[in-house]
Amino acid sequence: MTIVSAGADTTAAAALTTAPAGPVTGAAAPLAPRARLLPAMIAVYRAQLSRARVARIPLLFVATFQSVGIMVLMRGVVHGGPAARAVVAGSSVLVVAFVALNLLAQYFGQLRASGGLDHYATLPVPPAAVVLGAAGAYASFTVPGTLVTAGIGCGLFQLPFTHLWVLAAVIPLAGAALSGLGAALGLLAPRQELATLAGQLGMSAALLLGVLPAGNLPAPIGYVRDLLPSTYGVEAFIRSFDAHPDWLAVIADLSVCAAVGLVSLAVATWAYRRAASR
């Protein structure tokens, strides 16, 4: 994938075609300016999303099938109440964890191992644009699977569909937190195999700690659950199933996701600079 600054190329081409012939001087030609953050991020986002459409659709199907299968299995032992809400919310956010955390950790681990970071380093693109563009594409790719999982879950457990619109906030905010974590794991892992392992462990934690009702977990495990970014997306979604949701609590949970997302994406950007400079 190649990202080009159209304005920089036009300026350079004009300079080459209009420069008068004359003796060659020792002055070096000025370098093209670096692309701005937003246009560069959009270019990376579009390129990654286009690539994901071809390469990641089978994996998205696996993520959705896995989450729906978990709900079907849990339907045999959970019949309603808070446990059913936890199963549906946790299974829905698990799709986000599978793609944004697991696959992104593997992607950046592979990119680092194959020398792909060297390619990005030669482009006039800010490091944050690469991380944010890739993270945004992977988070966006989770939307269909999350919606399908939530819809099937509400049907299985007779939960209301009224406030499913909350997913419009849960998906991007939980996706940002998990994408930043996945990118950081992939970039900081010394080997590609360790990046894959870290992504798998993170997804397994989201499965075990997100799908199981919090009240049934031992206290030490509950503390670990509080450290997992996806937990707050799950809690926000669970609260939306109440007849009269506590919207302040929903906003508080989503604010935690947003804060963790900012921190994790900042760490991932630092890790990208560190890996690209080696």
pLDDT tens per residue, range 147-182: 999 999 999 999 999 999 999 999 999 999 999 999
Reduce the DSSP state of residue 93 to 3 states and report it: helix
Q: Could you give the count of Cα atoms lying within 13 Å of 77 in the half-sphere of its Cβ?
A: 8
Task: List CB contacts of 154: < 8 A, sequence separation 6 or more.
Answer: 88, 160, 161, 164
What's the mean pLDDT when you consider all of the chain? 83
Q: With beta carbons less than 8 A apart as the criterion, state whether 257 and 226 touch.
A: no
- Token pair for residue 79? 């019949």
How does pLDDT run across 71-93, given as a tens digit for each residue? 999 988 887 888 999 999 999 99
Element (H, E) at 174: helix 167-188
Q: pTM above the 0.75 mark?
A: yes
Enter the tokens of residue 40. 């560069």
- Signed CA dihedral, 211, 217, 220, 222: sign only: positive
Rounded Cα distance, 159 and 84, in Å: 8
Percent of the chain scored above 70 by pLDDT? 86
114-154 confidence digits (pLDDT tens): 887 877 777 778 888 888 988 888 888 889 999 999 999 99
Q: Provide the token pair at 108.
A: 């950046």
Query: Are the CB atoms for 168 and 236 separated by under 8 Å?
Result: no
Nearest to 88 by CA among 162, 173, 149: 149
Residue with tokens 């003796």: 23
Quote the percentage of the chain above a pLDDT of 90: 43
E-state strands within the chain: none
Mean pLDDT for 209-234 is 86
- State pLDDT tens for residues 14-66: 333 344 444 444 444 454 566 678 888 888 888 887 776 666 677 778 889 99
